[in-house]
Amino acid sequence: MMGIGVSPGIAIGKAFVLKEIPTNSPKQSYFNYQEENQRLEKCLSTVRLQLENIRAKAEAKLGDKAQILDAQILITQDEELLTFVRGKLKEGLSAEAAVHDGVEFYAELLASMDNDYMRERAADIRDVGQRMIRHLLGVEQSDLAHLPESYIIVAHDLTPSDTATMDQERVLGFVTEIGGRTSHTAIMARTLEIPAVVGMVDGTSIIKTGDLVVFDGESGELVLNPSEETLMVYSAKQKKERESRARLQALKEQPSMTQDGRQVLIAANIGTPKDCEGALKHGAEGVGLFRTEFLYLNRDTLPSEDEQFQAYKAALEEMAPNSVIIRTLDVGGDKEIPYLGLGKESNPFLGYRAIRVCLRQTEIFKTQLRALLRASVYGKLGIMYPMISSLDEVRQANAILADTKAELATEGIAVSPDVEVGIMIEIPSAALISDILAKEVDFFSIGTNDLIQYTTAVDRLNENIASLYTPYHPGVLRLVQKVIENGHNSGIWVGMCGEAAGETALIPLLLGMGLDEFSMSAISVLEARELIGKLNYAEIQAWVPEVLAIGTAEGIKEALRLKSIRG
């Protein structure tokens, strides 16, 4: 079977298939009201306890992200819902049918409201309802927080709450039916260093819990119930991979330098300050992208200035003296924050998102900037604005930053004089005017995840057109080259924090174009350093024009492959 390899590593283990359970439970009636009522009450307290246990466990590991479970615990105590369910029981329905009807009634009511927050609550109610019905039907499915042994998780998709609460020690790999290289599951898998394959169509129907599964998180190849021979091949690959990781550790303290002395920076992408640990373990020379959305997700209100300050300070202190580039709020697209009430849009990736929200709802932006500036004295900070499409936006954002700095100065709060300010280049219009934008900022970081989708009109999350989503498209690469050239002409450094920066086959070309900083999943840092150490910058620079003259993504890929074979 073939999927899309999104997190490297060989996974070998038993499958644990997360089935969506049917919500249309049969309308059974009961024979004894007392008995049925007792079943319901027992189920309520068991499920509440389960959720509280998951929450406690998740909190120890994940801090704020565990708040996602609070809403679910509250549902098990919701008087209105419970009165409805108990009423159904009195009408003669079985406990599971009563729960089903109650949950569906309220979920549909919430889902029909013109409010994202309420719609989100509908999903929560259904989640809790499924857990209760499963318990009542005796088809309890161990949740990912309490896996009895180590498994490869197979699911249609994994939600942020699944990955936030799962028992990481016992998850050998992820296989999902949907998603692409830049989907939530993929990014989480790489951060957690768990091999993963997405886009495995019909995976949950073909694979059964208990089946032996082996897969390669790089190539996307999966073998179900492999022969002895195949198993041996994969075991050998896994052993080799572990040896190679151990060997790479020797490069941890080394600079990222080519044979002829061109030095670049290899940094890591993180989602929370906790991820700095992994970044340092893998020898990252800083953080090239701190996605601050995670501070805003899975909660009901905006994080306070102080809460944010603590998170930014922690990351800066941990990575000092190396720099941490912190991206201001990039809400929208696939990152919904229901309590902001931004409303449903027909084209969310082209809509009211990121810097567009920050420039209109300036209080949100200012709170974040204040927290960032206050934290700046604890390390080397870079502030980065996402989704810049025009010069006006950069100027407006910088004006708000200047106001915020002045405000802090009058309050007598110290701010580092060395804060760098940069922008993500992820929209073609910004790439095309990067010569002009370069005069306003200290650095560019190319966000290829979005730049690819906006340049080629290919939705980055749609597995149906995943083959069209490629960083090797000559149109994308020409824009990348233009941005680097324009940045350098204005004397600023240019980095890349999209997933393409960690794509082994592409690294030589990016290096040859003059990219100064590569920011990637921590797990890829040492491999990239090893590769760069084998390259000769002057030679590669000489063949960049030849590669960029090729008209197709496949042609470019092939040319890069041949170059790497020839050395």
Ligand X SMILES: C=C(OP(=O)(O)O)C(=O)O
Catalytic (active-site) positions = 184, 497
Stretch that binds ligand X, among 107-115, 191-199, 236-244, 446-454 (CB under 6 A): 446-454
Q: Are 251 and 533 in contact (CB under 8 A)?
A: yes
Q: How far is the CB of 340 from ligand X (least distance, A)?
A: 17
Q: Of the candidates 88, 291, 299, 370, which one interacts with ligand X according to CB under 6 A?
A: 291
Tell me which residue has tokens 């080799």: 240
Total binding residues toward ligand X, as defined by CB under 6 A: 11
Enumerate residues 38-97 that contact ligand X by CB under 6 A.
none
Cis peptide before 321 (omega within 30 of 0): yes
To the nearest 10°, the Cα dihedral for 478, 482, 484, 488? 160
Annotated binding residue at 126?
no
Annotated binding residue at 460?
yes
Stretch that binds ligand X, among 78-86, 133-141, 341-349, 444-452 (CB under 6 A): 444-452
Contact status: 473 vs ligand X (CB under 6 A) = no
Annotated binding residue at 450?
yes
CB atoms within 10 A of CB 137: 12
SS3 percent helix, strand, coil of the chain, rounded to 5, is 55, 15, 30
Enumerate residues 329-348 that contact ligand X by CB under 6 A.
330
Annotated binding residue at 127?
no
Annotated binding residue at 459?
no
Contact status: 497 vs ligand X (CB under 6 A) = yes
Question: How far apart are the C-alpha atoms of 186 and 158, rounded to whole Å?
Answer: 10
Q: Of the candidates 25, 76, 163, 182, which one interacts with ligand X according to CB under 6 A?
A: 182
Q: Vertex 459, ends 457 and 463: CA angle to 5°?
A: 130
Contact status: 471 vs ligand X (CB under 6 A) = no
Question: Between 72 and 183, whose beta carbon lies closer to ligand X?
Answer: 183
**Full DSSP string of 194-247:** --EEE--TTHHHHS-TT-EEEEETTT-BEEES--HHHHHHHHHHHHHHHHHHHH
Contact status: 382 vs ligand X (CB under 6 A) = no
Question: Between 94 and 449, whose beta carbon lies closer to ligand X?
Answer: 449
Contact status: 448 vs ligand X (CB under 6 A) = yes
Question: Between 8 and 447, whose beta carbon lies closer to ligand X?
Answer: 447
Alpha-helical regions (H) of 502-552: 507-513, 525-534, 537-548
Q: How far is the CB of 463 from ligand X (least distance, A)?
A: 17
Q: What CA–CA distances, in Å, run from 192 to 155, 164, 171, 186, 496?
A: 18, 10, 10, 10, 21
Q: What residues have CB less than 8 Å from 232, skipping those under 6 apart?
A: none
Q: How far is the CB of 564 from ligand X (least distance, A)?
A: 24
Q: Are 325 and 387 in contact (CB under 8 A)?
A: no
Question: Between 331 and 394, whose beta carbon lies closer to ligand X?
Answer: 331
Q: How far is the CB of 95 from ligand X (least distance, A)?
A: 44
Q: Of the candidates 450, 503, 517, 527, which one interacts with ligand X according to CB under 6 A?
A: 450
Question: How far apart are the C-alpha atoms of 81 and 87, rounded to whole Å?
Answer: 10
Q: Of the candidates 498, 502, 508, 514, which one interacts with ligand X according to CB under 6 A?
A: 498
Q: Of the candidates 191, 449, 455, 470, which one interacts with ligand X according to CB under 6 A?
A: 449
Q: Vertex 258, ends 252 and 262: CA angle to 5°?
A: 110
Q: Are 47 and 130 in contact (CB under 8 A)?
A: no
Stretch that binds ligand X, among 258-266, 308-316, 442-450, 535-543 (CB under 6 A): 442-450
Burial of 185 (0-12, 13-18, 19+ CB in 10 A): buried
Q: Vertex 435, ends 430 and 439: CA angle to 5°?
A: 100
Question: Between 129 and 271, whose beta carbon lies closer to ligand X?
Answer: 271
Q: Of the candidates 124, 162, 285, 426, which one interacts with ligand X according to CB under 6 A?
A: 426
Kindly list the residues in this chain that would bind ligand X in the complex (CB under 6 A): 182, 289, 291, 330, 426, 447-450, 497-498
Annotated binding-site residue numbers for Mg(2+): 426, 450
Annotated binding-site residue numbers: 291, 327, 426, 449-450, 460
Annotated binding-site residue numbers for phosphoenolpyruvate: 291, 327, 449-450, 460
